[in-house]
Chains A and B, each alone.
Chain A
Amino acid sequence: NAGVTQTPKFQVLKTGQSMTLQCAQDMNHEYMSWYRQDPGMGLRLIHYSVGAGITDQGEVPNGYNVSRSTTEDFPLRLLSAAPSQTSVYFCASSYRDGGNTIYFGEGSWLTVV
């Protein structure tokens, strides 16, 4: 019973490098999203998807790209890493109909130097 799986758990990047955070869920959830967590700022929505082929911007989308080619996968791409993107990233998923619970992955700790 995997739930929401994120990889990698830890990553150090140099400024200007690009990388992809992987996210997969096995609960057949329609909705998937990416949040970043920073001290004193709670969880902020980066991008979200309501289904395969459909994505939209959240509160803090700049510098990030997403795609949703399958129901299960929702990768987050950092195009050109900046120190301001040092954060903990959480992927999440939920049902579209009747479900309110958001299920989070265990997080990816990213440091940009």
Chain B
Amino acid sequence: GENVEQHPSTLSVQEGDSAVIKCTYSDSASNYFPWYKQELGKGPQLIIDIRSNVGEKKDQRIAVTLNKTAKHFSLHITETQPEDSAVYFCAARPAISGGYQKVTFGTGTKLQVIP
């Protein structure tokens, strides 16, 4: 099955700096890569996703890049703000060809933005 590794497990940055979280996956059949943000005491919430036919996707201060050959993808947060402090999960899922396709999550990165 799929295995998703995520690094680092914790990350501290100064407010205004950039943060980068990296993930690798093992199953070449995976073609959908979402990122979830989990605030303290809450459930994870989708913040951005990318499909394997796209190399980069941006949404305001966040961006995700995908390198299919190397099987790794990254989350980039620019101009970090205290409200970006949370746990971030990457995930991978194979192509939907009918039926339920299980999503495999990384182990999470706790991001702390220091004011």
- Interface residues of chain A, those whose CB is within 8 Å of chain B, are 4, 31, 40-45, 48, 50, 56, 58-59, 90, 92, 100-102, 104-107
Contact = CB atoms under 8 A, between A and B. Distances in A.
B43 A42 contact: no
A42 B25 CA distance: 14
Interface string B87-115: 00100010000011011011110000000
Contact of A105 (B34, B43, B100, B102): B43
Interface stretch (B13-21, B44-52, B67-75): B44-52
A50 B99 contact: yes
B46 A48 contact: no
6 contacts: A41-B107, A42-B107, A50-B99, A102-B44, A102-B46, A104-B45
Give the contact-size bracket for chain B: 20 to 34
A56 B43 CA distance: 23
B34 A40 contact: no
Given A31-B100, A48-B100, A104 B43 contact: yes
B100 A56 contact: yes
Contacts of A41: 107
Contact of B43 (A4, A40, A48, A100): A4
Most chain B CB neighbours (cut-off 10 Å) among A58, A90, A100: A100
Name the prevailing secondary structure of the A interface residues.
strand
Nearest to A4: B43
Contacts of B99: 50
Contacts of A56: 100
B89 A43 contact: yes
Contacts of B46: 101-102
Most chain B CB neighbours (cut-off 10 Å) among A48, A58, A104: A104
B44 A42 contact: no
Given A104-B43, A106-B41, A42 B103 contact: no
Given A100-B32, A107-B43, A42 B102 contact: no
B90 to A, nearest CB: 9
Contact of A100 (B34, B89, B102, B107): B34
